[in-house]
Amino acid sequence: MSDLWDSVQKTASGLLHPHGPAVPGAAVSYAPGDFSIHFLLQLAVILVTCRIVGWLGRRLLGQPQVVGEMIAGVVLGPSLLGLIWPDAQVAIFPKETRNVLYAGAQLGVGLYMFLVGTTLRIDHVRTKVKSAAGVSVAGIAAPFAMAVLIAPWLMGVPGLFAAGISQLNATLFLGACIALTAFPMLARIINERGLANSALGTLSLTAGAFDDACSWCVLAIVLATFGGGPGVAVIAIAGGAVWAAIVVFAGPRVLAPLARRVERQGEMGTEMLAIVLALFCLSAFFMDAVGIHAIFGGFILGAVMPRGLFSDEIRRKVEPLTVALLLPMFFTYSGLNTRMDMVNSPALLLVALGILAASVLAKGGACYLAARLAGEDNRTALGIGALMNSRGLMELIIINIGLQKGIIGPALFAMLVLMAIVTTMMAGPLFELVYGRHARKRGELGAIAQAEMARTA
């Protein structure tokens, strides 16, 4: 009996170890079954953690579910779980399995942005095009101007930027980081607060999408000087623009017959849903392949989807699984690459606070002023500035690329992570302070609050 028990213990303890090929004497490696074992366990841990942290964030901090999920991703990474229980963190999320999690993360965030695109009010975009353009330009110009001012100072601090990097490249990269808006995070906050169909929500989403696309193009230019060659930037900018034009101008004509068929049938069948998902995958693939990001391919396609029953059926069939299962993988994957223990001295903390203050002033302040100049009232402009200042995990993606490509060092990486988390957490409460609570008093957001509670329960 003791031999049996020892055998059971040995087998159980080895479940998460790489089994390798079924060949005697072969090197230990991960077999296909190992990836599925880890993936299923990872999903369970991610879902439970996201719900718990999201609930705590709502109850204790007044944060929407999406911010809780972002924090949950960091909790499951080396910053917390890896710090207090490193063996468990490595056993659940071994490095060798992260490519599978990455693929699921891209599918989740891409599908979510596709769904957000289906809620975009084109009529609001047309009526707010002047305001959106002004906010977008200000949200790009001011951060890059701030980067021009502070990049020389940061380059004087050892270890922040890679040795030998030019001041131009350092300025461009830092400007892209400050100019970035957390497009998926912004979209989720707007959706959870019921602002997707409002002029304010549409203006913020439109401006945020343009700012993010410009930031990714700037990143492509910086990467081109780090060994990728000028073709990287050319393909990213030209390829993205061409594909966006094809989708915007040809998409409605291609999709109109599909929408009429759904209207006749009264619902979207499995065959039609498969066609829509295949189109989404193609659009996301192209944007990812040229070097922009899959989320922009999904969002652009969603924006041209026929409205009415067609888009309603897409959301009804796709949204629950995307939000509950797939999207949390995106937050967790980014959290696994985040190290919050790198800002470990008073001097570095002071630098981190300086970067945070400069980022908030450049992005949020500039977007507020641009909205005011475009004719928006004071509270609406303040709300736009608060939302546009959120950076979230899109920031983590771009700075992870910078770290992997040798543009920045681990210390600056940690400072930018801190900036991303703080600006994201302050977006919701600041929006409520300057806009939300006043709108609720006027009765404009009463139904929104009920919808948010039902959605995040």
pTM of the full predicted structure? 0.75
Position 8 scores a pLDDT of: 44
383 belongs to a structural domain: yes
Position 162 scores a pLDDT of: 83
Position 245 scores a pLDDT of: 92
- Interhelix angle 378-388/129-155, rounded to 10 degrees, is 50
State the average pLDDT over residues 352-380. 88
Query: 158-187 b/e with 16+ CB inside 10 Å = b?
Result: eebbbeebeeebbbbbbbbbbbbbbbbbbb
6 belongs to a structural domain: no
State the average pLDDT over residues 302-331. 91
Structural domain count of the chain: 1
Q: What is the CA radius of gyration of the chain?
A: 23
Position 124 scores a pLDDT of: 55
Average pLDDT, the chain: 80
DSSP string, 89-128: HHHHS-GGGHHHHHHHHHHHHHHHHHHHHHT--HHHHHHT
What are the two backbone dihedrals, phi and then psi, of residue 425, each rounded to the nearest 5 degrees?
-70, -30
Position 65 scores a pLDDT of: 77
111 belongs to a structural domain: yes
Position 11 scores a pLDDT of: 47
State the average pLDDT over residues 21-31. 53
284 belongs to a structural domain: yes
260 vs 330, higher pLDDT: 260
The pLDDT tens digits of the residues spanning 57-82 come to: 888 877 777 778 878 888 898 888 88
Is the per-residue pLDDT at 323 higher than 90? Answer: no
Closest listed residue to residue 49, CA positions, set 71, 32, 16, 29? 71
Is the per-residue pLDDT at 395 higher than 50? Answer: yes
Is the per-residue pLDDT at 450 higher than 50? Answer: no
CATH number, domain with residue 221? 1.20.1530.20
**371, 131 in Cβ contact below 8 A?**
yes
Tokens 């619902």 -> residue: 267
**196, 119 in Cβ contact below 8 A?**
yes
pLDDT level of residue 9 (50, 70, 90 thresholds): low
Tokens 């910078």 -> residue: 402
Position 98 scores a pLDDT of: 86
The pLDDT tens digits of the residues spanning 280-294 come to: 999 999 988 887 778
State the average pLDDT over residues 235-261. 90
Three-state SS at 338: coil
Closest listed residue to residue 285, CA positions, set 296, 273, 271, 272? 296
The pLDDT tens digits of the residues spanning 89-102 come to: 988 999 888 889 98
299 vs 127, higher pLDDT: 299
Q: Give CA–CA dist 257/270, Å, rounded.
A: 17
What are the two backbone dihedrals, phi and then psi, of residue 408, each rounded to the nearest 5 degrees?
-120, 160
**Residue 342 lies in domain:** 95-445
Three-state SS at 76: coil
148 belongs to a structural domain: yes
Is the per-residue pLDDT at 249 higher than 70? Answer: yes
Q: Give CA–CA dist 44/332, Å, rounded.
A: 12
Is the per-residue pLDDT at 451 higher than 50? Answer: no
15 belongs to a structural domain: no
369 belongs to a structural domain: yes
359 belongs to a structural domain: yes
Closest listed residue to residue 145, CA positions, set 177, 165, 168, 171? 171
State the average pLDDT over residues 336-357. 82
Task: Mention every residue, 6+ apart, whose C-beta is less than 8 A from residue 27.
Answer: 20
Is the per-residue pLDDT at 205 higher than 80? Answer: no
pLDDT level of residue 158 (50, 70, 90 thresholds): confident
- Interhelix angle 129-155/199-223, rounded to 10 degrees, is 40
State the average pLDDT over residues 436-442. 70
Q: Give CA–CA dist 207/132, Å, rounded.
A: 5
Taking residue 291's Cβ as centre, other Cβ atoms within 10 Å add up to 22
**70, 421 in Cβ contact below 8 A?**
yes
Both tokens of 64, joined, read 């929407």
